[in-house]
Amino acid sequence: MAHQYVLEFATDGRGTRDITDDIARVVSESGIATGLAHVFVQHTSCSLTITENADPDVRRDLETILARLAPDNDPAYRHRTEGPDDMAAHARSVLTGTALTVPVGAGKLLLGTWQGIFLWEHRTEPQQRKLVVTVV
């Protein structure tokens, strides 16, 4: 048995958004007690991550690290189609990933105590994002 649902989010621009409760709701509604929840974002300039959910400084520090690894408006970038943050957003997405798989037990996500699932927007301006959640 499989259950699939598309979630849509409006982001506020660059930064993280906790989507754990949204994913947990899809898992609960699926009726699947034991299995896997696969989450995939249908875009190339944002990503998904599982990280610390209690201290927002962790996510701010991760943003700082990515800014060092993939800075906006680097003169070496050739791809600038949608602005100075465009190529950096693509690079950040590649570095952090567009899909996650989380085990499901007793109809719930089996995340650790301090883990949350986050949509990580890499563009500086607000965006509309779609995620596909598949529970098997």
- What's the whole-number mean pLDDT along residues 106-122? 98
Average pLDDT of the chain to the nearest whole number:
97
The CA angle 74-17-94, to the nearest 5 degrees, is 40
pLDDT tens by residue, 20-29: 999 999 999 9
pLDDT tens by residue, 8-49: 999 999 999 999 999 999 999 999 999 999 999 999 999 999
Contacts of 106 (CB under 8 A, 6+ apart): 33, 34
Q: What are phi and psi of 20, to 5 degrees?
A: -55, -50
Q: What is the pLDDT of residue 33?
A: 98
Q: What percent of the chain has pLDDT over 70?
A: 100
